A and B are shown apart, each in its own frame.
Chain A
Amino acid sequence: AQSVSQHNHHVILSEAASLELGCNYSYGGTVNLFWYVQYPGQHLQLLLKYFSGDPLVKGIKGFEAEFIKSKFSFNLRKPSVQWSDTAEYFCAVNGAYEKLTFGTGTRLTIIP
Chain B
Amino acid sequence: NAGVTQTPKFQVLKTGQSMTLQCAQDMNHEYMSWYRQDPGMGLRLIHYSVGAGITDQGEVPNGYNVSRSTTEDFPLRLLLAAPSQTSVYFCASSTDRGPGHEQFFGPGTRLTVL
Residues of chain A whose beta carbon lies under 8 Å from any beta carbon of chain B: 4, 6, 9, 30, 32, 34, 36, 42-46, 49, 51-52, 90, 94, 96-97, 99-105
Contacts and interface: CB of A to CB of B under 8 A. Distances in A.
B26 interface: no
B106 interface: yes
Contacts of B102: 34, 46, 49
Contact of B42 (A49, A51, A52, A102): A102
B99 A43 contact: no
B40 A44 contact: no
Contacts of A105: 42
Given A30-B99, A96-B99, A100-B45, 19 more contacts: A4-B42, A32-B100, A43-B108, A44-B43, A44-B105, A46-B102, A49-B100, A49-B102, A51-B100, A90-B42, A97-B98, A99-B97, A100-B103, A102-B35, A102-B43, A102-B44, A103-B42, A104-B41, A105-B42
Of the candidates B4, B98, B99, B103, the one having the most CB atoms from chain A within 10 angstroms of its own CB is B99
B41 A99 contact: no
B74 interface: no
B107 interface: yes
